[in-house]
Structure 1
Amino acid sequence: MSQMGRPKKDDPMIHKVSVRFTESEYQRLKAYAEKINKTMTEALKDGIELLYKDYQK
């Protein structure tokens, strides 16, 4: 019998991070994410990637 359910991902998201923002920081992130048509999580991940690339120089 074959396995049921969703297929396993190659790189599953197993870590969860919680961040607290001030109201103004939250509004800035929300506005930016809406402007680039991404979720706030995707916008944060993009920012982390930019910081990491700059760090590697």
Structure 2
Amino acid sequence: MADSAELDVLTKALNDYCARHHIADKDGRERIAIRVMMLFGQGVSDLVQLSAELERGSV
């Protein structure tokens, strides 16, 4: 479970990644949101780390 500060970080990671990669459609954003939540579930909660992992495509 994420607290409000963590939710802010997760949301920023999602929004930043989608903006960088021009992902605006619901399905695309949902796919990235799932990746963000999977990373969070693996213990990645830092914005820089989340961004790096998303860029690497790991999950």
Q: Same fold (TM over 0.5)?
A: no
Larger Rg: 1
Q: Using CA pairs below 8 Å that are at least 6 residues apart, which structure has the higher relative contact order?
A: 2
TM-score by length of 2: 0.36
TM-score by length of 1: 0.37
